[in-house]
Amino acid sequence: MKLKMIVVLSVAALALVIVSTACRRSSKESAPASGQTVAYYTCPMHPSVRSDTPGSCHICGMDLVPVYTNAPAAKP
């Protein structure tokens, strides 16, 4: 019974790692819409943090997200 529980938990943990890795990879590899270029990268939680290259925020460790130079204007 204990062996069966260990096997089930191991398989579940492995599946979780595979899914999270695939999601992370696909979100980083997504291409911007045509005609857009990256102006800089910033932290979603700390907009004052800016970088010319992708990376992580030095305050909270979150992945920096791109800000595009010719991003569409927000609709009111």
Residue 25 has pLDDT above 70, yes or no: no
Q: What is the pLDDT of residue 14?
A: 80
Residues 6+ apart with CB under 8 A from 68: 32, 36, 37, 38, 39
Helical H segments across the chain, by residue range: 2-29
30 vs 36: CA distance, rounded Å: 13
Q: Write out pLDDT tens, residues 43-52.
A: 999 999 999 9
* 72 or 38, higher pLDDT: 38
14 vs 67: CA distance, rounded Å: 34
pTM: 0.49
In contact, 46 and 36? CB cutoff 8 Å:
no
